[in-house]
Structures are given as structure tokens and as C-alpha cells.
Amino acid sequence: MAKYIGKRLIYMVITLALIATFTFFLMKVLPGSPVASADKLSPEQRAVVEARYGLDKPLPVQYFDYMFGLLQGDLGISINQFKGKDVTDVILSRMGPSAQIGLQGMLLGTVLGILLGMIAALRQNSWVDYSSTFIAIVGISIPSFVFASLLQYWFGLKWGLFPVALWKDGFMSSVLPSIALAMFPLATAARFIRTEMIEVLGSDYITLAKAKGASGSEIAFKHAFRNALIPLVTVLGPMAVAILTGSLVVEQIFAIPGIGEQFVKSIMVNDFAIIMGTTLFFSVFLIVIILLVDILYGVIDPRIRLSGGKN
Amino acid sequence: MKNSKIFWLLSLVLVLSAFLAACGGGDDTDTGTEAPEDTEGTETSGELDSEQVLSLMETAEIPTMDISLAEDAVAFNIFNNVNEGLFRLDQENLAEPALAEGEPEVSEDGLTYTFTLRDSNWSDGTPVTAEDFVYSWQRSIDPDTGSPYGAYMMAGSIVNATEIAAGEMEPTELGVTAVDEKTLEVQLERPVPYFMSLMAFPTFYPQNEAFITEKGDAYASNSENLIFNGPFTLTNWDGTGLTWSMEKNPEYWDAETVKLETINVDVVKEPATAVNLYNSGEKDRTGLTGEFAMQYANDENLITELEPTVFYFKLNQERNGEENALSNVNIRKAIAKGFNKQNLVDVVLANGSLPANYLVPTEFTFDESNTDFRDVNGDLIEFNAEEAAEHWATGLEELGVEEVTLEILGGDTETAKNMDAYLKEQLETNLEGLTINLKAVPFGVRLELDEAQDYDIQTAGWGPDYQDPMTFIDLFVTGSAQNKMSYSNSEYDALVESAKGELATDPAARWEAMAQAEKILLEDDAAIAPIYQRGLMSLQQPYVNGIVTHPFGGDYSYKWAYISGKE
């Protein structure tokens, strides 16, 4: 196991280095200049501003400078969004709220989704089942920004149950954004758990368990649920991506000082160091999730072996 | 099992309510227009509420609070309220002495200005001196600082600015000296008739050398590491966050005029969220864009302001080094007269904008008898489908072609795309044989294509940097940064040159020259085709009074604002 994780960690570093390289060069071919008032400055004045951020050096030099800084944990400085500020500081100051609503959304969505899926499977073809399927379809097909806007309008503005927006009332401020983010994981989890459980519930060993006199809840949780979890874990990765991309818009709608909206903005305004910083941040996040998912497989189902089955 | 049932019910309720809300939302959207009931009927008799707190929104973060490095609207607006220069724009948008004690002494040739400073303090209690101005200006012109606005504002006006920015001279050789603690002398290269209004621009504010040196790299990184000399101080700004406040500055020389105690600002980028926050009563003012401008067009708390920003077509006569159809003056005139601007502002933009038949905006500059430059020069090039068609026919004949295909390069915002689609339809209808291709790109890309002169027609806009027609008039002289369209007319160039040079001390003749130059640019040459002057719609709670909107520099002054009738 340790050897496996070690190997994976090495791959992770290689992956990150490749991502950094690709992003760096892709970003440099982006049209536009990071100098905000470029339309007002003469070429000489512009050169002065660009030299301040090392943009006058040849591209390979800029690349090696950046990668060398990266090795030492230096993500560079922001050019126009937060002039002269360390990108590490920007990311650190912005990741808290994103992580909070992301985790809450994921947790809420997965837990509710599992319950919904289980109930639907246990009461197959009842109205409960149909409504849960309906919710799952709604949750998958309606994008999170629509939910976010509706939640804001009704729960915030009309009924005044939660803050309309802004990040000022601690946990209360995080409720609506988390719910908006929870919709996709909820729907996905419900759908997978339902399908899997129905299949498992129809299998021979469940019939055997029933014949042995195991209670309904014992069958549901001990036997059916555990087996149904495996496909769910598989979609955890894509769900994390959905949460990340969802957070871009949800953060903007609820005016949350998160990192998602910075990511998009930085590309629009060619703030090179921020583009690199946020891309790498998201990449690390995703790679770690994928690793965790792979490790979880082994925990949930001992039949899946990670080390390649040599022993 | 019991618990899970509750969870399940809860989730069902949540999801269904959100979904049902989607169905019922359509006919309910305008309920938000109701004004908060408690404010109705209250009279703004000018009596102040005991709580003087204003709650506002911005649409972007503060990139930097370093006066030498800032180049964005958010920071400039804050500078205008937490710092101050020699002059300040007053409630009528005229430059009035601020840190300067009265008008400066001007030498006969208009090249030397001597300002006497009033007694005023930084927020730490130390006095503002003439040396603070010298330090600030030198810092901004020093190429090592990398200031985007330093050279832009000073080169060509202040002695040696051009050479220092180019690295040929030392910053200490800039034409500004502290004669003594309270006397500042400025040497100009040429007379600058609008020099007082320049002094209200943040680039010319004083900076505190001792403070900046002491803070080093930490300077301006958050509100703790800043020093102020304006009506307010900036607080609660962590350097990257979406929130900050302004508190009344007790050290401000005119503190007794300032009524507001606190201004709370939050960055809200989503227009719908901003409107919701306004309607919830949490925010006192919101800008209205696109659909919201139309939705709230009849709201009693609607404010419409005219901005001094003009949008126009740049007509590129030489794309990638090759002359195109736009090098023909009749083709350009046909395009400039070929679209209905009134319908554009009424139906497509619907945000209080005006059709522009001019380059220098209306309600922006006034001569000594307070006559608007616009009233002097009037409407220059108007929509006229028939004349457009005639020009077009002549132009095609001169070119010896029957069909012309042109590209319109424009912005990628919703407003820009709608406008360009409308203009395409108008031009194709009014000018037979014209095919327009639309190309929508982000702002940065548009600048790059402009730089490379790789476009046919471009929708562009310009806002002023100082209060004088010249900030617009000189945009398109031969070889200028904005003239990436191969336009050149020696008569126009000469008029601009004389207005900047020998006529600088003769205001009437100078205005005449600028008016003439605008006529040549638009009527004779149709070098550009003006489209509209931008309006801005906002909702403001009725208890908010006295926010002053400015045409350049910082957008707003809160110095005179107060809350009355909220309680």
C-alpha cells in the first residue's frame, strides 16, 4: 500500500509539472496584455510597466524562472488583479470560503443523495421512488447557477430566511451556496445508489440473507448499501469537478470571496501568475481526490487490489 | 430510519420549492420594484439621521491602493474619497482649491504655477508638505516604479517628464520643487489651460515618503499599511477581499463638512445579486445594467446619469498594410450616416444613453461663460439613410465595385453584442451591397487587434482623463496611439497642435480651433463614426442624499453625502 501511494505521489508530481508547463505556454499565447490601461500607454510606457513584472524577458527564460520559483514554493506575483501581491497569499486568503461551501455542498449532497437513492430502491416503483427519480433528473439537468439564483431570490430576498448574499454572517452565509452546490452530487448519488441497490437487492445472497431471517434494515445497510457504494465512489471524482466548476458561478452569485471566481477573472485579464497559481491549486485538489478515490476502493471492497495483484 | 425520513422530506421540500419557484418566477419578477414602505412619505427636509452610515457596492476588487500604480476605476474612486490633491472637483464638477489655499499664482507665459498649501494633516497627524507632492510626482514618473499613469499624465506637460520616463534624466530633475514647506512650484513645458482639473486627478496627489519608506514592501498591502489625507480613511480592507469600509477622517482639514461616519462597501459582481441586495434594504444604491435597466425604467428611485464616455466606430483605412474600402471618404460617410442612433439608445441600450453626433461628450466641458462645448459645436454627423445611400453609391462607383464586405470588431459583453448585431442590421439594410461580419472578442484581445491594426470597423469607447475637450480632440492625430487606422489630415493635426501650443493662452481661439478640428474629423473626413454617449442608471434609496458624480478621476464624492429620513 505504502509503495503504491509512493508511486502515485511521484506520478502526481510529474503530472503537475506537465500541467504547469502546458498552462504556462497556453497562457502565453492568450491574446491580450496584462497591462490594464494598455490602450492609453505608448509602446515605451508599456514596456516600462511590463519590465516591472519580467515580461520583457524571452519566453524560455520566463518559463524557467517560473518553474524554478515553483520548486521553491514561490507562485509569483499578481500583475493586475492584486498588483504586486504574492499569489500564494491571494490563494490562501481566498481558499477558505471556497473549501467551506465546497465541502458542505459535497457532504450535504452525498448524504441526502444516498438516503434518497436507498429509500427509492427499497420502495421501488412507489411514489417515493418516482419523486426521487424526478429530483435526480431535476438536479442533474438544472445548472447550479439557476438553483443559486432561485435560492437567493426566495430564501434570501422574499422569505428572509438566509442572507441574500455576502460573506458576513458566518455559517448562515454559507447555507444557500452550499445547497446550490449540493444539487448535482445529490442527484448523482441518488441515481447511482438506487440503480445499484435494486440490482444488489435482486441478487442471490440477499435472498439468502432474507431466508436466514435478517431484518430489513440489516439487509439494506449491511449488504446492499455497501455494495452499492462502489460505483458511487467512482463518480466522486467527477462530482468534485462539478463542485469546483459550480463554485465559479455560485461564488459570484453569492458574492463570496472564494477562489473560483478569481480563476475565471485571471484568464480574462491575463494575470499570468494568478492563472498559474489557481490552475495548479485546482490540479492538486483534483489529483488528490482521484488518489483518495482509488484508495477508498480498496477500503470499501477488499476484492479490489491496488498493487497490481503480484502477490 | 426515522431520521432519514426527516432528511428525505427536508430535501424533497427544498428541491421542490426551488423547482416550483422556477415555474412561478416569471410573473413575479417585478414585485421587487416596490420601495421599502417605511421610507415612503418621509420628507428629505435636510435633517440628518443620527446614524450616518452609507452602504454601497462595487463591481470589482481593489487591485492596488498605491497611488503610483493604480489604473482602475475602483481605486481611483477610493483615492478621491480618502486622499486629496491640490484641487478637488466640487458639486458642480468644477475644480476648486482643496489642499491649495486659493488659486495658484501663474506666471505670464502660463508656464510656472506657484501653489500655497493650506494647513492640513495626514491621518497620523503629521502635516502635509510641499515635499510630499514633489516625492509623489517623482515617484510616479520614475521608470523604476512602473507607474501606468505617471508618464501618461505628465509627459509633454511637466518639464522633463518625457525624458525622465525614457530613462534619460533623473526623477529629481522633474519640473516640480518645494520652495518651502508650504509652497510648491510647478514648471510646465507648454501652457496647460486645464491644469487645475489635472490637479484633482489621483496621480497628482501627495504621497508620504516617511510612511512609504517605513512600510517598505508592506506599503499599501492592506488598509493598515496606508495613510490618508482626504475626507475619509480606508478600513477593513485585507488586500484581496471583497469588502472594505471608509470612516470619517477626523484629521481632514474640512472634516466639519463631512457628514457620513461610515461607508460600507462590498464587491458584488453579479448584477442580479446587486439588485436583490438593494431590494432587501441591505444596500443603498445599485447600478442597473441590461435587462434590469429596462425592468426598473419607471422606478421612482431611479437615477439616470450621463457619463462623459463616447462610443464610436473606428474606421480602419489600411488593414494589415493594405488599403481597403474604408480608405474612400464616401464609404466612410455612408457608414457614419447609415444607422439609426436614436433607436439604438431607446430600444437596444435603454440605459439612459444619448445618441452621439459628436466626439466630445455633452455636459462635460464648459467655457468661461459656462457654455457647454457641445452647444458651441452642435451636432456634426447625424443619421440620414438617404444621404448615406448616396454616399454609398458614389463610393462604390469610385472604387469600381458593387459589393463590399466589412468586419465589425466589438466587445463580447451582452450589451456590446446586442448593439453590434443591431448596427449590422441597420447598415446592411441602408447600404445596398454591404455585408457585415461580426467579431466579438474580450477587451484585451480587441486592444491587441487594434494595436496590430487587424480589423475593418471597431466599436471603441473613450472616457476623459482631464476636464478639457482636448482629451478627446487629440485622439486621432497622425501616428497617435489611438489612431491605429491610418487616418491622417494635416489640417486637423495643425489645429490640434495650435490649440496645444500658441493658442493655449487664448481660451476663445483655442475652443474655436478644437471645434474646427472636431468638424474636420467627423464631417469632412468621417474618420470615425460616433454612436452614443453612455448613460448610467442606478437605483438609490430616497434617504441617500448628496452623492456627487464626477466625469473623470474618481467617479464619486461622498464628502457631501448624508443620510436623511431613513429612521
- Could you report the per-residue pLDDT of B345-388, keeping only the tens digit for each? 998 888 889 999 999 999 999 888 888 999 999 999 999 999 99
Residues of B in contact with A49 (CB under 8 A): 146-148
Instruction: Please state, in angstroms and rounded to a whole number, the distance separating the CA atoms of residues B83 and B228.
Output: 5
| Mean of pLDDT values over A82-110 | 89
Q: State how far residue B386 is from chain A, nearest Cα, in angstroms.
A: 36
Best of A28, A137, A149, A167 to disrupt the B interface (most B CBs within 10 Å) is A149
Q: What is the pLDDT of residues A133-167, one digit of tens each?
A: 888 888 888 888 888 999 999 999 999 999 998 99
Average pLDDT for A88-115: 89
CB contact under 8 Å between A166 and B8, yes or no, is: no
Neighbours of B89 (CB within 10 A): 24
Question: What is the percentage of chain A residues whose pLDDT exceeds 90?
Answer: 24
Q: Say if residues B299 and B93 touch (Cβ distance below 8 Å).
A: no
ipTM for the complex shown: 0.87
Span B409-462, pLDDT tens digits = 998 888 889 999 999 999 999 999 999 999 998 887 888 888 889 999 999 999
* Rounded (10°) angle between helices B329-337 and B385-399: 160
The answer to whether residue A9 neighbours chain B at the CB level (below 8 Å) is no
Alpha-carbon distances, residue B39 vs B274, B280, B367, B537 (angstroms): 20, 13, 41, 21
The predicted structure's pLDDT at residue B4? 46
| DSSP for residue B366 | B
Give, for B335, the enclosing helix (H) or strand (E).
helix B329-337
Q: Per-block average pLDDT, block size 10, for chain B (567 residues)? A: 47 46 36 37 62 94 92 93 96 92 93 96 96 97 88 91 92 96 95 91 96 94 95 95 95 96 95 94 91 88 93 94 92 96 91 94 88 91 95 95 94 88 95 94 84 92 90 92 92 94 88 95 95 94 94 92 91
Q: Which residues make Cβ contacts (< 8 Å) with residue A220, sequence separation at least 6?
A: A118, A122, A197
SS3 category, B331 = helix
Q: Which of A33, A93, A150 sits opposite B240 (nearest CB)?
A: A93
Considering only CA atoms, which of A112, A45, A94, A10 is closest in space to residue A264?
Answer: A94
From chain A, pick out residues whose CB is under 8 angstroms from the CB of B241: 93, 257
Q: Is A196's Cβ below 8 Å from some Cβ in B?
A: no
Q: Using a CB-CB distance cutoff of 8 angstroms, which residues of chain B are in contact with residue A165?
A: 268, 270, 273, 276-277
Task: Find the Cα–Cα–Cα–Cα dihedral A108, A114, A115, A118, rounded to 10°.
Answer: 170
C-alpha cell at B176: 516640480
Interface of B with A in 298-337 (CB under 8 A): none
Q: What is the signed CA dihedral for B268, B269, B275, B281, rounded to 10 degrees?
A: 0
Angle, CA B465 vertex, CA B548 and CA B336 arms, to 5°: 105
Contacts of B149 in chain A (CB under 8 A): 37
- Which residues in chain B have their CB less than 8 angstroms from residue A41's CB? 148, 151-152, 481
Q: Cβ B242–A146 below 8 Å, yes or no? A: no
DSSP string for B433-464: TEEEEEEE--HHHHHHHHHTT--SEEEEEE--
A45:B165 CB<8 A = yes
What does the mean pLDDT of chain A come to? 85
Higher pLDDT, B368 or A25: A25
pLDDT(A307) > 60: no
User: What is the helix (H) or strand (E) element at residue B54, kind and residue range?
Assistant: strand B53-58
For residues B141-172, b (16+ Cβ closer than 10 Å) or e, as one string?
A: bbbebbbbbbbbbbbebbbbbbebbeeeeebe
Element spanning B187, H or E: strand B183-187
Confidence band for A240, pLDDT divided at 50, 70 and 90: confident
CA A70 to chain centre: 23
Q: Which residues of A touch B222 (CB under 8 A)?
A: none
List the 139-168 stretch of A: residues with Cβ below 8 A of B. 139, 142, 146-147, 149-154, 156-157, 160, 164-168
Q: Which three cell numbers stand for residue B276?
A: 436583490
**Chain B from 177 to 216: CB within 8 A of any A CB:** none
- The SS3 assignment for B369 reads coil
Out of B25, B238, B269, whose CB is closest to A261? Answer: B269
- Exposure string (b/e) for B284-293, b if CB count within 10 Å is 16 or more? bbbbbbeebb
CB–CB of B242 and A138 under 8 A? Answer: no
With beta carbons under 8 A apart, name residues in chain A contacting B63: 36, 80-83
Length of chain B in residues, anyone?
567
Residue in chain B closest to A41 (alpha carbons) equals B152
Tell me which chain B residue has its CA closest to the CA of residue A183.
Answer: B15
How buried is A309 (Cβ within 10 angstroms: 0-12 exposed, 13-18 middle, 19+ buried)?
Answer: exposed
Of B5, B221, B273, the CB nearest to A253: B273
Our CA-based measurement puts residue A121 at a distance from the nearest CA of chain B, in whole angstroms, of 13
Cβ(B305)–Cβ(B349) under 8 Å?
A: no
**Residues 91 through 120 of chain A touching chain B, CB cutoff 8 Å:** 93-94, 111-112, 115-116, 118-119
Judged by CB atoms closer than 8 Å, whether chains meet at A257 and B240 is answered as yes
Report CB contact under 8 Å: B7, A111. yes
Longest dimension (CA), chain B: 93
| Residue among A254, A241, A260, A264 nearest A147 (CA) | A254
The pLDDT assigned to B12 comes to 47
CA A282 to CA A28: how far, in whole Å?
Answer: 19
**Would an 8 Å CB–CB cutoff place A48 in contact with chain B?**
yes
Q: Which pLDDT belongs to residue B39?
A: 38
Place of cell 489642499: B99
**A contacts of B268 (beta carbons < 8 Å):** 165-166, 255
Whether the CB-CB separation of B170 and B215 falls below 8 Å is answered with no
Question: Residue B421 is placed in which grid cell?
Answer: 448585431
Chain A residues close to B11, C-beta within 8 Å: 112, 115-116, 135, 186
Per-residue DSSP letter, B29 = G
Residue with cell 448524504: A111
Answer yes or no: do B444 and A33 touch at CB < 8 A.
yes
Separation between Cα atoms, residue A278 and residue B347, nearest integer Å? 41
Contacts of B5 in chain A (CB under 8 A): 119
Res A293: pLDDT:
82
Residue B253's nearest CA partner among B413, B469, B97, B38 is B97
Percent residues over pLDDT 90 in chain B: 71
- Quick one: pLDDT at residue A305? 63
- Please list the residues that pair with B462 across neighbouring strands: B310
Residues 6+ apart with CB under 8 A from A199: none
Q: Region A247-266: what's the mean pLDDT?
A: 87
Helix H or strand E encompassing B538: strand B528-540
Query: How close does chain A come to B63, measured CA to CA in Å?
Result: 4
- Are B75 and B62 in contact by the 8 Å Cβ rule? The answer is yes
What is the SS3 string spanning chain A?
CHHHHHHHHHHHHHHHHHHHHHHHHHHHCCCCCCCCCCCCCCHHHHHHHHHHCCCCCCHHHHHHHHHHHHHCCCCCECCCCCCCCEHHHHHHHHHHHHHHHHHHHHHHHHHHHHHHHHHHHHCCCCHHHHHHHHHHHHHHHCCHHHHHHHHHHHHHHHCCCCCCCCCCCCHHHHHHHHHHHHHHHHHHHHHHHHHHHHHHHCCHHHHHHHHCCCCHHHHHHHHHHHHHHHHHHHHHHHHHHHHHHHHHHHHHHCCCCCCHHHHHHHHHCCCHHHHHHHHHHHHHHHHHHHHHHHHHHHHHCCCCCCCCCCC
- Write phi, then psi, for A274 (nearest 5 degrees): -70, -40
Give the integer Cα–Cα distance in Å for A218 and A203: 16
Q: Tell me whether B452 touches chain A (CB under 8 Å).
A: no
Are B165 and A44 in contact (CB < 8 Å)? yes
pLDDT for A49 equals 77
Q: ∠ CA A162-B60-B314 to the nearest 5 degrees? A: 135
Measure B58 CA to nearest chain A CA, in Å. Answer: 11
**Residue indicated by cell numbers 488593414:** B319
Tell me B523's DSSP state.
I
Contacts of A173 in chain B (CB under 8 A): none
Query: How many angstroms away from the CA of A257 is the closest CA of chain B?
Result: 6
- B321 burial (CB, 10 Å; 0-12 / 13-18 / 19+) is exposed
